[in-house]
Amino acid sequence: MGLLSKKDTKLITDPLADNNPITIQVLGICSALAITAQLKPSIVMAISVIFVMGVGNIVISLMRNIIPSKIRIIVQLIVVATLVIIVDQVLKAFAYSLSKELSVFIGLIITNCIIMGRFEAFALGNGVWRSFLDGVGNALGYGVILIIVGFFRELLGSGTLFGLKVLGDSVEKTGLYAYGYENNGFMVLPPMALIVVGIIIWIQRSRNKALIED
């Protein structure tokens, strides 16, 4: 990549694996899990967070020298809230049923700890371009976990992907269902989101021993 120096590339690739915001930094789980019962809302959520974090980091980084440090949390919250309102209105205009499905969880991007965490830890002390990359990188790391969880929960829970019946029809007993395969209805319920993330953490930490907590 000619556009990005080695250090900048690291800003994007690090959060995807070894410094993942969800599995390692434990941030932003709040709004992440409830909407992963299907793949489509997971992807929409990931895109919304990428937008909010990228733009938010730019704005905060631009204002970093004029924000009084005592009220910086309120300023950050207002910036995020404005961006989230934009996302919410766009979703309402172009994908109304999806925005109904995501209900309050779009609003909860505001209090997504990844965003506040990155503002505090990075955007307040770094330049615009690097802050933007850091924001996009962390949001991508968040999105990757969301999409993995959404993929498995939809595939195993309802036998579909994006609503397409990839495993055959469970009512007419075609495809896999002809051989006696059954959907695991449990995967659709909220507790399984936690357990799937737990398993992702397990796999990731068994592969990279350096991440193990003592």
Partner 1 sequence: MEHLELFFKSIFVDNMVFAYFLGMCSYLAVSKKVSTAVGLGAAVIFVLMITVPLNWLLDQYLLQEGALSWLGEEYASYDLSFLSFIMFIATIATMVQLVEIIVEKFSPSLYNSLGIFLPLIAVNCAILGGSLFMQSREIETLGLAFNYGISSGIGWFLAIIAIAAIREKIRYSAVPPALRGLGITFIITGLMAIGFMSFGGMLTGGDDAPKAEDKTAIIKNEIEKETEDATETVSLVVDLTK
Instruction: Tell me: does residue 23 bind partner 1 (CB under 8 A).
Output: yes
Residue 60 vs residues 6, 87, 88, 116, 132: alpha-carbon distances, Å: 24, 18, 21, 11, 10
Footprint of partner 1 on residues 182-211 (CB under 8 A)?
A: 189-195, 197-199, 201-203, 205-206
Closest alpha carbon to 83 in 135, 147, 140: 135
Q: With contacts defined by CB under 8 A, name the span among 7-15, 19-27, 56-64, 135-143 that binds partner 1.
A: 19-27
Per DSSP, the residues of 148-183 read HHHHHHHHHHHS-BTTB-TT--TTTT-GGGGGT---
Distance CA 149, CA 163 (A): 16
Collapse the DSSP code of 164 into the 3-class scheme (helix H, G, I; strand E, B; otherwise coil) and give the result: strand
Instruction: Tell me: does residue 50 bind partner 1 (CB under 8 A).
Output: no
In terms of CB distance, is 163 or 198 closer to partner 1?
198
Contact indicator for 72, 125 with CB cutoff of 8 Å? no
Q: Which of 11, 15, 20, 31 binds partner 1 (CB under 8 A)?
A: 31
Binding residues for partner 1, total number by CB under 8 A? 47
- Helices within 31-95 (DSSP H only): 39-63, 72-94
Contact indicator for 87, 48 with CB cutoff of 8 Å? yes
- Least separation in angstroms between residue 84's CB and partner 1 is 6
Give me the amino acid identity at 134: D
Footprint of partner 1 on residues 105-164 (CB under 8 A)?
A: 107-108, 110-113, 116
Q: With contacts defined by CB under 8 A, name the span among 21-29, 39-47, 58-66, 169-177 that binds partner 1.
A: 21-29
Instruction: Tell me: does residue 84 bind partner 1 (CB under 8 A).
Output: yes
- Least separation in angstroms between residue 30's CB and partner 1 is 4
Q: Which of 17, 77, 121, 128 binds partner 1 (CB under 8 A)?
A: 77
Instruction: Tell me: does residue 96 bind partner 1 (CB under 8 A).
Output: no
Collapse the DSSP code of 202 into the 3-class scheme (helix H, G, I; strand E, B; otherwise coil) and give the result: helix
Q: With contacts defined by CB under 8 A, name the span among 47-55, 61-69, 100-108, 145-153 that binds partner 1.
A: 100-108
In terms of CB distance, is 125 or 190 closer to partner 1?
190
